[in-house]
Amino acid sequence: TSLEIQVSAMGVATPEEWMWLESAGIEMFQGDLFAKAKLNGIPSIAWPEKK
């Protein structure tokens, strides 16, 4: 019987990691290979330069 547990691979950074994980049966991925991390979707802050 199957436990019906879904596994998500986090921190996937290279195509080689992705292909290896996919060949191992992983179906959900997250990491820099797909999208760079953002703080709650907020773009980087452009701080003013000190004078």
Domain limits of the chain? 1-38
At 10-48, the pLDDT tens digits run 999 999 999 999 999 999 999 999 987 766 666 677 778
> What confidence category does residue 2 fall into, taking pLDDT thresholds of 50, 70 and 90?
confident
- Residue 1: the pLDDT is 62
Quick one: which of 36, 28, 25 has its CA closest to 10? 28
Around 28, how many Cα atoms within 13 Å sit in the side-chain half-sphere? 5
Whether 9 shows a pLDDT value over 80: the answer reads yes
